[in-house]
Structure 1
Amino acid sequence: MHDLSQLRVSITGHVALLTLNAPPVNALTRILNDELTEALDRISELDEVRAVILTGDGKVFCAGADLKGRAETIKGPGDLPAHSRRTRECFHAIRECAKPVIAAVNGAALGSGLAMVASSDIIVASEKASLGLPEVDVGLLGGCRHAMRLFGHSRLRRMALTGLRVDGAELYRLGVAETCTTPENLLATAWEIANTIAAKSPVSTRMGKHTLNVIEDMSLRDGYRYEQDMTAQIGKTEDAREAQLAFKEKRAPVFKGR
C-alpha cells in the first residue's frame, strides 16, 4: 500500500488490520472514503490476506459524514451525484471485498459509520460502542437501508426517527454483535475470529462470502440452488481435496488457495 493519510493498514500473518485515522472523530471525509475503497479493492486481490479487521482509532469508530467537507465539495451541478456515488461505493467495497471483514466497533458508529459496520461480515462491539442514525437531527437521511440488515422494524424506525443510539451491550442482546467486550479485549477478540477464518481454505472463505452476498435477497429455492451449485464448484478445488484428506488422516490441512 502506498502512503495513506487517514487510514492505517498493517498486515500480520494472513490478516489485514485497517484502522480509520481521521481525527478527531473519524468522520468519513472524501480522503478516508477513497483510501478505504482503494485499500479494500487491493486486499481483494492480495493472496496473502485471508481476513480483514476494520476498526477506528481513538474513542470513535466513525461519527458519520463529514458535513463540513460535504459543503465544500458540493458546489455545482453534478457534485452531489458524484459525492453520493463515492459514498455508497465505499460501503459496497466492504461488502464486496473478497475477504471476510470483521468490524471491531470501538466507539460510536453513526450514519456512515453504521453503514460501514452493517456492510461487514462479522461484528464485535466494545462496551463503549454504539450504533445510531443521527441524520434526523441535521435534516438528512442515510444508512437506514444498511441498518435494516441489522435491526428489526420497530427498533430501526425508532433509531431513524428519534436518533436513538444503541450501545454495545444492547447490540449483543439483540444479536447484532457477536459479543460485547471490554475496550481492552476488543481487538484481541477480533483477531481471534480473524485468525480462525485465516486458517480455513482461502478459496472456500472467498467463495463462501461471495455466495452469502448473492443469496441474501434470493428466495429460499433459488438461494439454496445457487448455494448447491457453488458447493459443487468448491468441491472441485485442490483445497477441498486437501481438507477431506486431512480429515481422513486426522491432521491439520495445508491449504494453497487453489
Structure 2
Amino acid sequence: MGVSTSGPEPGIAVVTVDFPPVNALPVQGWYDLADAVRTAGRDPAVRCVVLAAEGRGFNAGVDIKEMQRDTATGGHGALIGANRGCAEAFSAVYACEVPVIAAVHGFCLGGGIGLAGNADAIVASDDAVFGLPELDRGALGAATHLARLVPQHLMRALYYTSRTATARELHAHGSVWRVVSRDRLHEAALELAREIAKKDGCLIRLAKAALNGIDPVDVHRSYRFEQGFTFEANLSGVADRIRDTFGTENRQGAGQP
C-alpha cells in the first residue's frame, strides 16, 4: 500500500499508487506521489514515466474522511495539507523532466483529473470515466486540468453537473491517446512509453521543457487560484455541510447505520 516505483524496462519508470479501497489519497500520499514522480524524472537513465494505480480505479481524489476528522475538532490542517499536497503532486507530473503517461482505469475523479490532466499522454481502459464531482463533495478545483481534457463548454457543463465523461468520449476529443480493454492497459501504456524511451535522453528533456514553455495556460497559477475558493467554501461552513451529507449518503448506500 502507498506509492511505489519500478523499472520494468530500460528507460521506463512506473510509479504506482495503491491506497485501498478507492485510491482516495491522504495528505502524505500526495506528497509521496510528488516525490516519486520527481525522483523518477531526475534519474538520467529514465526517459519516460508511467503513472499507474492498483485497485478499483485510478484515483478518487482526496481522503474526505481524513478531512472530516480534522474539521470535527475545529482544525484546518488536513484541508491545507490536501491543498498543498495536491498542488505538489499535480506540479510534479507537469514539471517532470521527462514525459509522463497516465494509465487510467476505472474512475479518475477529483485529484485524478489533476494528475491525468497534467500528464503528457493518457492511455485508458474502456471502463475508465473522468470527472470532477467537487460540487457534490464540498470542494472546488481542478477545472484547470479538466480544461486540458475537454473543450471549454463541455468542461463547464461537466463541472456544474458533476457528471463524468468516458474514455472513448475523451478519445474523440483527442485527449486520450488510446482506449484498450482493462487487461491490456499496462501493456498499452508500456508500448507508448517504449516508443518515447527510444529517443535521446537529453533531447526528450529539452522537448518536455519546450512544450511546457509554450503552454497557453499557467497550470500552477490557475490551479492555486481555484484553491482559494475551496478554502473560502470551507471557512464559510458550506463545504462541511456538503461533505457531511456525502458521508451520510455513502454510509446509507453501503448499508451502514
Alignment TM-score, normalising by the size of structure 2: 0.79
* Aligned-pair CA distance for 1:76: 3.4
Task: Name the counterpart of 1:7.
Answer: 3
Q: Please point out which of 18, 22, 40 is paired with 1:21.
A: 18
Query: What's the RMSD between the two structures over aligned residues?
Result: 1.6
One-letter amino acid of the counterpart of residue 148, structure 2: R
Distance in 1 between the 2:165 and 2:82 partners? 28
SS of 1:69's partner is: helix
Cα distance in 2 between the residues matched to 1:77 and 1:163: 25
Deviation at 1:78, TM superposition (A): 6.4
Distance 1:150 1:87, change over 3 A: same
Secondary structure of 2:34 counterpart: helix
Quick one: distance in 1 between partners of 2:118 and 2:163?
20
What residue number does 1:66 align with?
A: 63
Q: Residue in 2 aligned with 1:94?
A: 93
Flag the 1:20–1:77 CA change in 2: closer, same or farther, 3 A.
closer
Written as runs of structure 1 = structure 2, the 5 A alignment for 1:1-258 is 5-12=1-8, 13-73=10-70, 75-76=74-75, 80-217=79-216
Per-residue deviation, 1:89: 1.3
Distance 2:76 2:11 in 1: 44
Given that 2:12 and 2:50 are in contact with CA atoms closer than 8 Å, whether structure 1 keeps it comes out as yes
User: How far apart are residue 173 of structure 1 and its match?
Assistant: 1.5
The question of whether the paired residues in 1 share the 8 Å contact of 2:70 and 2:76 is answered with no
Q: Which amino acid aligns with 1:200?
A: K
In 1, distance between residues paired with 2:90 and 2:45? 23
Note the residue ranges of structure 2 that are not aligned, 5 or more in a row: 218-257
Structure 2 counterpart SS, 1:34: helix
Comparing 101-110 with 8-17, which one deviates more in the overlay?
8-17
Give secondary structure in 2 for the equivalent of 1:62: coil
Greater Cα radius of gyration, structure 1 or 2: 1
Equivalents in 2 of 1:128, 1:157: separation in Å? 23
Letter paired with 1:85: R
The structural deviation recorded for 1:8 is 2.2
SS of residue paired to 2:4: strand
Tell me the number of residue pairs that the alignment of Structure 1 and Structure 2 aligns: 214
Higher relative contact order (CA 8 A, sep 6+): 2
Identity rate, percent = 34
Distance 1:33 1:139 in 2: 19
* Deviation, structure 1 residue 31: 2.6
> Following the alignment from structure 2 to structure 1, what is the Cα–Cα distance between the partners of residues 208 and 31?
23
Give the CA deviation at 1:56.
1.2
8 Å CA contact 1:37, 1:90 repeated in 2:
yes
What is the one-letter code of the residue matched to 1:18?
Answer: V
Match of 2:251 in 1: none
Q: Unaligned regions of 5+ residues in structure 1, if any?
A: 219-258
Q: CA deviation at 1:200?
A: 0.4
Aligned partner letter, 1:66: D
TM-score by length of 1: 0.78
TM-aligned CA deviation for residue 90 of structure 1: 1.0
Q: Per-residue displacement from partner, 1:56-102 (whole Å, max 9, x unpaired)?
A: 10220001111111233565366644442222111000100101100
Q: Check conservation: 2:129, 2:167, Cα contact below 8 A.
A: yes
- CA displacement at 1:162 relative to structure 2: 0.6
Deviations 1:140-172 (A, max 9, x none): 111111111111122101111111111111111
CA distance in 2, matches of 1:217, 1:174: 18
Q: Which AA in structure 2 matches 1:50?
A: R
- Measure the CA separation in 1 of the matches of 2:184 and 2:145: 27
